[in-house]
Amino acid sequence: MSDGFPSLPDAEFTLEISPGAVAEWVHLPADQRPRLIDCRERDELTICRIGGYEWFPLGTFPEVLDRLTADTQRGVVVYCHHGMRSLRAAAFLRAHGVENAFSMSGGIDAWSAFVDAEVPRY
């Protein structure tokens, strides 16, 4: 990725990014890193979350498309519980013009297992 933002994978070759790669930039100020979008449901947020996230449940993507496709030049990384919903979310965003949208592989469960064991698993 250019313009001084952290690197994202080449979108031509993958739809996913690893939790470790996200961990390298997640604590940067929001304007200096890709957007981080949690697409889980409200009840899942009460269990755990990753700091610096924006919340848009997957089912709301069509109605909030204008908000999701704004400010995407930094890139967008979506996460969910295990990485399946976020794959659909990233594919949805790409289909709507966000070429640098990615799913965090393994979701917040992998984040807890490999990045931050303080994040509860469920």
Q: Where are the domains of the chain?
A: 38-114
Q: What is the pLDDT along the chain (122 residues), one digit of tens a residue?
A: 445 567 899 999 999 999 999 999 999 998 999 999 999 999 999 999 999 999 999 999 999 999 999 999 999 999 999 999 999 999 999 999 999 999 999 999 999 999 999 999 99
Contacts from 82-90 at CB under 8 Å and sequence distance 24+? 82/106, 82/107, 82/109, 82/110, 83/16, 83/107, 83/110, 85/39, 85/40, 85/58, 86/39, 87/15, 87/16, 88/58, 89/37, 89/39, 89/58, 89/61, 90/15, 90/16
pTM of the model: 0.94
Phi/psi at 49 (5° precision): -160, 165
Judged by DSSP in three states, 94 sits in helix
Domain 38-114 has what CATH class?
alpha beta
